[in-house]
Amino acid sequence: MMPNSNFLRIKLSCLLVLACGTLSLAQVAIKQNKPESTPLRQTIDKAVQESWKKEKIKAEGKCDDSTFLRRVYLDLLGTIPSYDVAKKFLADQDGKKRDKLIERLLNDTQFSQHQTTLWDLTLFGRNPPNQDATRNRTLFKQWLGEKFTKNEPFDLWVRDLILAEQEGSELYYAQFTNKPEDLTESFSRIFLGTQIQCARCHDHPFTELLQKDFYGMTGFFVRLVVMDQGTSGSGEKQLKKFKIGEKNSGEVLFSGNQKELKPGKKGEPVKPKFLSGAPLEEPTLPANYKEPEFKSGTKSMPKPQFSRKEKLAQWATAPSNPFFAKAAVNRIWSQFMGRGIVHPIDNFGTDNKPTLPDLLDNLTEQFIAHQFDTKWLIREIVSSETYQLGSKGENKESLPKHFERARIRPLSAEEILTVMKVAGGDPEQKSEGSTGEYFRRYFGEPTNGLGDFQGSLSEHLFLNNSSNVRAFISRKKGNLADTINLSKEPWEQRIDQMFLSVLTRLPKDSERAKFASYLQSEPKSENLVEEAIWVLMNMSEFRFNH
Amino acid sequence: MNNPSISGVCKKSEHFSRRALLKGSLATGAGTAIPNWGGLFHSQSIASMAQKLGKRCILLWMNGGASQIDTFDMKPGKATAGPFREIQTKLPGYKVCEYLPKIAQQVEKLGIIRSMRTTSPDHPDGIYHMHTCYKQSERMPHPELGAMIAKYLGQTDADLPSFVRMGPTGNAGSGYLGPRYEPFGIERNGNMPYFTSPYLPAANESRRNDLLRFMETEHKKENSADAYESHRVAKERAWRLLKAKSLFDTTKEWPKHQELYGASDFGRGCFLARKLTEAGVPFVEIGQENYDSHADNFVCHKANMQILDPAWSGLLIDLERTGQLQNTLVVWMGEVGRTPQINNRAGRDHFIRGWTIVLAGGGIKGGVVYGSTDADGRDVATNPVSEGDLFATIYTALGVNPRTKHFVGTRPIWATPEGSKPIKDLLL
């Protein structure tokens, strides 16, 4: 199924060492760059449309230009287009304007920034452990940002993350200092798509996962040491640096089912074992080997004679790994389609089958064949007809199971903040100190245990009454409210500008008429304009990417 | 108060648990009970049952952990006794601390559990555990009691939040139940949190909101996704809360009630809780601070009880007087008890081997002393009660099935841990 798997990069590095000159590397390169007969976007549409037929589902049609424009801006850049961009795009008669827009956005610096934000949140979550170290992740984001700016292949940056030898990358491990089990959970969930945590306390009830599988994976992390390299700055600017060391010895001790645990019972050492794979082959340590005592304050340590971390990096990111590429493809797919082909995205397993198994295999193979090129994959997904479906209709599901309609996803806290600035007409607007924190607090985690959106009371009290939000709406020199107030155009045109600026669409006739009478209900327009912009920014239409 | 142009609640028929069926979940969707549902309990039918019963719950939270030996489980004559004397209650043969004279007169309303044996010995973990009945170390987002009660006893279209708290209280929030059931924190004197004061004059606010309602109605014509509805409902709730804000203001009534509840912040919080539950808030929690008496235990407890005694007894009297007591469960507890052993700073440390929690009112048999500790109070002697048993008792008293099931991702999780049993002797 994976014809190209012999030509993969990890192996390439070995080839370079072993057989440079014997096998034609040029040949490999040619084979890899050979275009597929069918572009992936068409493969996607074919698979999805066939499933509609099978399920007898009536799908939505293609979305209109303004819906597409807002959607793809939010998904690729984490923001909305300015009024000028929106106006120009809607007026553009070029039949290829969507493809051209996609290409432009993929090459925008904000694209790599947005990817960095998304992956940073994936790797750390809203409330990461080790708060003192993880509050300021500037260095980590710089490190990750460079990877996305260069569009470094997915397997390569993940390998660097596992090796944790580049400045900034160490923080992923540092959040789990002395907690190899927590690290195992996080790593397996994100990069292997496997919810291994059940097996931490008991054998998994629905799958074949055993506790020993969990602790076998933990074996790769148990020898890691987080070495504090010092702290600079203070308060919000406080920045901690780390280095990651690895010891020569140390094993996970396994003491059986948590429920049957007795105090004082010592566990048995568990050898490292790749998930659903072979145990790690490693040289035995001399019988009299004594690990040097690790003192706190240690800033560096020699490389171990045998590095488990390196073995993990090799195994995890290899194309032959049955979990890695599939989990990556599924996760990237869900960024744009709202849900994974396997959903929840980090719960692959015999008890949770993919909705479109062939498509998932196909995406995986092609992702590998394209050398884990994330940008290529994203381009193909957002260029598909499936991604560009309408978002209206009677279907109540926010994340339709068969992708028969675009998903409705809430904007993240970061997106809402950025979008309000753009919509208010001052993208560069500085926000007061606490604004970012308030946005994260009130918009940060809007879902229940199943990932369904839930609006909260505090979110709306904040939107209704806070000066932090009002700062993006009320009249200031040069912003949207100011422009509308100063404009001499007829109200209808000014209303069009307001809608296009905030919602990236023109008003319906009924809406235009309602706003026109609202805005002229008093001789002085200033208050009314502010109120009207507030209304647009408080709509459910604004709250979601649709 | 409800604007008819926007529906605050999904119609049951629209929402019939398709999603719940798909996910095998009880956590989502409204709808009637599903026949042939197998072994699962349908959460919405539980909610409608409980709502019909009109039950409420007030939690008096003793932050830091009150001493059982100096309150309800006194050990006169023992080395662990401490300096406080006993006084007779209305219950023959049962005595409590001399600093609880008013509560002593209310014992016929109380179900006193003297045999709590729990498993989280410190503050953050104990606070978490005694608010959720699950261990914090499980790293699951368990919801607090208040969020569960909000879900099962709250009305979707209520003007008021369904989980209100004041003073030092819980640390888990609404967990996997989601932001819909998050706690709404206010001060014990009724002062509101940030962002509850409109910056616009009322008339402007009102026309602005009507314009938004118009826009949402337009939007709703073509867009049916659940997420939009959730946004709209939350917006309406926020508006309704602001309209009902005056209810939180106790300035006028407090002077008249001060004598009954005692002139303290905590007492005022108890009065406000009575007012709020009467107005339909299903769960109110009021914290009292300063129980963590590792030093000077007796000074601390004497001072605390002088605040607690009138506030708590006043609350029970007032609930009875207003006809609410039979529907309002009042829980008195903290995160731990305190050691029988008195340390060298005249303090008592954290203790989980045998301590006391008191229930009263709605669904609880009064005048019952359940379980006991040994002669010195060093361990439970009879009828040990776990966190799960306590919560099962509370849920049962309130008409909520303690085995209600939810899903977190793919993992099933129950309102109380496996094996939890309600205390029958305390239930009506």
Do the Cβ atoms of B28 and A452 come within 8 Å?
A: yes
Please, which contacts does A46-55 make with residues 24 or more away whose CB atoms are closer than 8 Å?
A47/A356, A47/A358, A47/A359, A47/A362, A48/A356, A48/A359, A48/A386, A48/A402, A48/A403, A51/A355, A51/A356, A51/A402, A52/A402, A52/A404, A55/A402
Does the pLDDT value for residue B111 go beyond 90?
yes
- Smallest CA-to-CA distance from B182 within B201, B197, B200, B169 is with B169
User: Given B177, B197, B211, which is nearest A518 (Cβ)?
Assistant: B211
Distance CA A536, CA A532 (A): 7
CB-nearest to A538 from B235, B408, B409 is B235
More confident residue, A305 or A34: A305
Cβ-Cβ contacts under 8 Å, B407 against chain A: 449-450
3-state SS track over A426-467: CCCCCCCCCHHHHHHHHHCCCECCCCCECCCHHHHHHHHHCH
Among A456, A505, A536, the residue to mutate for chain B (most B Cβ within 10 A): A456
- Closest by Cα among A263, A259, A243 to A303: A243
Interface-testing mutation among B228, B241, B414, with chain A (most A C-beta atoms within 10 A): B228
Taking 60 as the threshold, does the pLDDT of residue B9 lie above it? Answer: no
Neighbouring CB atoms inside 10 A of A207's CB total 19
Q: What are phi and psi of B357, to 5 degrees?
A: -135, 145
Contacts of B218 in chain A (CB under 8 A): 508, 510-511
Q: Single out the residue of B105, B72, B51, B35 nearest to residue B357, CA to CA.
A: B72
Check whether B112 has a pLDDT greater than 70: yes
Q: Chain A interface, mutation test: which of B208, B216, B239, B413, most A Cβ atoms within 10 Å?
A: B208
Confidence grade of residue A179 (pLDDT, cut at 50, 70, 90): very high
Task: List b or e across B376-391, with b for residues whose CB sees 16 or more CB atoms inside 10 angstroms.
Answer: ebbebeeebbbbbbbb
Its sign, for the CA torsion A409, A415, A416, A422, is negative
Each residue's pLDDT tens digit, B18-42: 333 333 333 223 222 222 222 233 4
**pLDDT score of B346 more than 80:** yes
Q: Give the pLDDT score at B34.
A: 26
Largest CA distance in chain A: 91
Confidence of residue A2 (pLDDT cuts 50, 70, 90): very low
Spatial separation of the C-alpha atoms in residues A279 and A24, rounded to whole Å: 33
Give pLDDT tens digits for A522-536.
999 999 999 999 999
Q: Would you place residue A264 in the very low, low, confident or very high pLDDT band (cuts 50, 70, 90)?
A: low
pLDDT exceeds 90 at position B44:
no
Cis geometry, peptide bond prior to residue A344 (ω within 30 degrees of 0): yes
pLDDT at site B244: 87
Predicted structure pTM score: 0.83
SS3 label, residue A230: strand
Cα separation, A545 vs A408, whole angstroms: 6
pLDDT given for residue B54 in this prediction: 86
Tell me the pLDDT band of A351, cut-offs 50, 70 and 90: confident
Residue B366 has pLDDT above 90, yes or no: yes
Q: First-to-last CA distance in chain A? A: 36
Question: Which residue in A457, A498, A530, A533 has the most chain B C-beta atoms within 10 A of its own C-beta, making it the best mutation to test that interface?
Answer: A457
The answer to whether residue B77 scores a pLDDT higher than 70 is yes
Q: How many angstroms separate the CA atoms of A404 and A48, rounded?
A: 8
Let me know if residue B2 belongs to a domain. no
Would you list the DSSP string of B328-362? EEEEEEES-EE-SS--TTS---EE-SSEEEEEEET
pLDDT, mean of residues A43-52: 98
CA distance A152 to chain B (A): 32
d(CA B271, CA B260) in angstroms, rounded, equals 9
Chain A contact set for B141 (CB, 8 A): 449
Residue A260 pLDDT: 66
Least confident segment among A271-280, B102-111, B205-214: A271-280
Q: How far is CA B379 from CA A60, B64, B148, B301, B404, in A?
A: 66, 20, 31, 22, 32
pLDDT in tens, A364-392: 999 999 999 999 999 999 999 999 999 99
User: Can you say how many angstroms the Cα of residue A26 is from the centroid of all Cα atoms in its chain?
Assistant: 34
- Terminal CA-to-CA distance of chain B, rounded, Å? 37
Among the listed residues B239, B164, B281, the one whose alpha carbon sits nearest the alpha carbon of residue B8: B239
Minimal CA–CA distance to B333: which of B131, B105, B93?
Answer: B131
Whether residue A540 and residue B18 make contact (CB cut-off 8 A), yes or no, is: no
* Domain containing residue B182: CATH number: 3.40.720.10
Distance CA B36, CA A33 (A): 56
Q: Write down the residue that tokens 């200033």 correspond to.
A: A526
Contact map slice: A 423-482 vs B, CB within 8 A: 445-462, 464-467, 470
Q: Which residues in chain A touch residue B178, judged by CB atoms under 8 angstroms apart?
A: 447-449, 452, 454
Higher pLDDT, B365 or A255: B365
Give the rounded distance of the alpha carbon of B348 from its chain centre.
26
Who's near A96: CB < 8 A, 6+ residues apart? none
Residues in chain A: 546
pLDDT at A507: 98
Task: Kindly determine whether residue B235 and residue A455, on different chains, have CB atoms separated by under 8 Å.
Answer: yes
pLDDT at residue number A263: 65
Q: What is the pLDDT of residue A5?
A: 41
Which of A17-21, B105-109, B341-345 has the lowest average pLDDT?
Answer: A17-21
pLDDT tens readout for residues B369-422: 999 999 999 999 999 999 999 999 999 999 999 999 998 877 889 999 999 999
Nearest CA in chain A to B162: A457
Residue corresponding to tokens 């409590």: B96
Residue A175 has pLDDT above 80, yes or no: yes
Report how far residue A48's alpha carbon sits from residue A54's, in angstroms, rounded to the nearest whole number: 10
Does residue A403 or residue A211 have the better pLDDT? Answer: A403
Q: At what angle do helices A509-519 and A526-537 cross, to 10 degrees?
A: 150
**ipTM of this predicted complex?**
0.89
Instruction: To the nearest 10°, report the CA torsion of A446, A448, A452, A455.
Output: -40
pLDDT recorded at residue A36: 57
Assign A207 a pLDDT band (cuts: 50, 70, 90). Answer: low
Higher pLDDT, A107 or B226: A107
Report the alpha-carbon distance of residue B159 to residue B281 in Å, rounded: 9
Say if the Cβ atoms of A465 and B196 lie within 8 Å: yes
At A450 the pLDDT is 72
- C-alpha to C-alpha distances, A134 to A209, A444, B304, nearest whole angstrom: 31, 17, 40
Record the tokens describing residue B73, joined without a space.
């489980």
Residue A259's pLDDT band (boundaries 50, 70, 90)? Answer: low
- The pLDDT value recorded for residue B17 is 31
Name the region of B179 (left: φ>0; alpha: ψ -120 to 50; beta: rest).
alpha
Res. B4: pLDDT tops 50:
no
pLDDT exceeds cutoff 60 at A406: yes
pLDDT recorded at residue B51: 59
Report d(CA B156, CA A455) in Å as an integer. Answer: 13
Mean pLDDT computed over A265-276 = 84
Angle between helices A374-383 and A40-55 (to 10 degrees): 50
The full set of domain ranges for chain A reads 1-34, 130-317, 411-546
Give the whole-angstrom CA distance, residue A88 versus residue A100. 13
Does residue B267 belong to any structural domain of this protein? yes
Percent of chain B with pLDDT over 70: 88
- Asked whether residue B295 is assigned to any structural domain, the reply reads yes
Strands (E) in A204-261, as ranges, are 224-232, 239-246, 252-254
pLDDT for the residue numbered B40: 30
Q: Which residues of A touch B137 (CB under 8 A)?
A: none
